[in-house]
Structure 1
Amino acid sequence: MIPHIRTFTLLTALTAILIATSCSSDDTRRFDDELRQADMAVAEGDMTAATSIARRLSDEHLDAMTTGQLCRLSILYMQLSDDGNQSENISRATDCYRKAFATDSDSARQYYSQLGPEQTANAQMLATIAGSIGTALPGEAETDTLPETIINDSHEH
């Protein structure tokens, strides 16, 4: 009788894992689709639709999004900041940027380093605003915490 209980328990656990994985990949696809719709809305100049999608994603699903989706959402918010409500959109973009780096810094770094020239400025602005050490874009030198003149002056005395 005990082997049947173990088998049942194992099958139940595997079923739960499969369901969770299936739901997770469904969410990932849905979020990707919504981000594509938002990108198309921006391209068509429909900032109201893009804002609606972005807010729904960040208000309801931010914790379920992948690193790449968080990166995409941060850039979307930067694009929306050009059209209005700048402080809120930049704040939301920065939140997505920080969460992306907290989730998987290597993937976030890779995403931002592969942006086209039109979005590189947005990524650089996000890196500056976030201001966290370790979130600089690849190829960017991290600055010293002390100005060079202070470092040189301290060695002369």
Structure 2
Amino acid sequence: MYRTYCGCLCRCFVGERPDEIKLVVSRNIIKNVKSVVVPYTKGRKGLKTALCAGICFLYGGSYSDIAHTIVNILAINSGMICDGAKASCAAKIASAVEAGLLGMQMNKHDSQFYNGDGIVVKGVENNIKAVCELARNGMRETDNEIIDMMTKKNK
């Protein structure tokens, strides 16, 4: 999501659609989505297909539209966990795309989540930072529990 957001910001700052964008991204994210086939896309893989901000961008969304779409999707899907099950990753990606479309439609109809609505804070950058912090710190114990569940299941 953050990669797409960065690409959208780049276009806003450049003032036109760039021919090429070089982004530095987490190797962990690339590893996790490299082989995941997105449902109903005739075999397209995770890194090809666009998510929430990219979809809004492709529909001609402004910076404000994209920012509100991102806040909306973070409010809707931020509780999703990564359990290491590649079979369910594609379904989670599909859910995120659906949440992105919902978030974009909410914004088009002047409906959005505001500071104080659950984990939502003021400003798109602050929301991204908050969810990253939640994932980084909050998932430590969750990851341990998931690993325990996976290893007990295989015994």
Give the TM-score of the pair, scaled to structure 1.
0.26
Structure ID, larger Rg: 1
- Which is helix-richer, 1 or 2? 1
